[in-house]
């Protein structure tokens, strides 16, 4: 089984969402970012805790050993307040939130946008920006992150 599929199956089986996987140091270090599953996120206040990370880390260590995956170090972490958005489901889940994104190919002479995600339909993101709304192809989005809300 491929590493991505193995990680996805294990993390989802524990009731979490696999946000992203990073391999560094020539594939010797695995860095896994998890979040509450979309269904649980609305029902449970707060984000990922240290206990959540420890639970996933312990299970992954066992699974990776059984599957004979060679690595030196495993890190399991929360994606943070500025969570990356990668899949269409991420954009749908966080509709109404402010996002900072960059495009592969400019739209209207711009590559970088900050705005409120209105809706996702047919592979297009409707983004409310200063001065109106822009429609962006999800396939053209290079990087997208939530803009953290910090209240004092």
| C-alpha 121: how far from chain center | 19
Residue 56 domain boundaries: 3-77
The answer to whether residue 83 sits within a structural domain is no
The answer to whether residue 82 sits within a structural domain is no
Is 68 found in the same domain as 10? Answer: yes
Q: What is the DSSP letter of 72?
A: S
**Count of helix runs (H) and strand runs (E) in the chain:** 4, 8
Is 71 found in the same domain as 19? Answer: yes
pLDDT tens across 91-131, in order?
999 999 999 999 999 998 999 999 999 999 999 999 999 98
Inter-residue contact 59 to 10 (CB < 8 Å)? yes
Q: Looking at residue 130, which CATH number applies to its domain?
A: 2.30.30.180
pLDDT tens across 45-94, in order?
468 999 999 999 999 999 999 999 888 999 999 999 899 999 999 999 99
Domain endpoint, select from 19, 44, 77? 77
Total domains, the chain: 2
Q: Which residue has the tokens 């524990």?
A: 14
């Amino acid at each position: 089984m491929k590493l991505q599929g193995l990680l996805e199956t294990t993390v989802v089986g524990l009731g979490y969402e696999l946000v992203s996987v990073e391999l560094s140091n020539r594939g010797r270090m695995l860095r896994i970012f998890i979040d509450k599953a979309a269904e649980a996120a609305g029902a449970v206040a707060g984000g990922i805790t240290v206990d959540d990370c420890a639970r996933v880390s312990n299970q992954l260590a066992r699974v990776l050993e059984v599957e004979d995956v060679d690595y030196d170090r495993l890190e399991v972490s929360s994606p943070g307040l500025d969570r990356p958005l990668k899949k269409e489901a991420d954009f749908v889940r966080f509709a109404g939130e402010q996002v900072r994104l960059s495009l592969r190919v400019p739209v209207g002479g711009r590559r970088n946008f900050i705005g409120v995600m209105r809706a996702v339909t047919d592979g297009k993101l409707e983004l409310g920006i200063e001065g109106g709304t822009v429609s962006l192809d999800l396939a053209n989005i290079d990087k997208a992150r939530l803009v953290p809300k910090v209240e004092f």
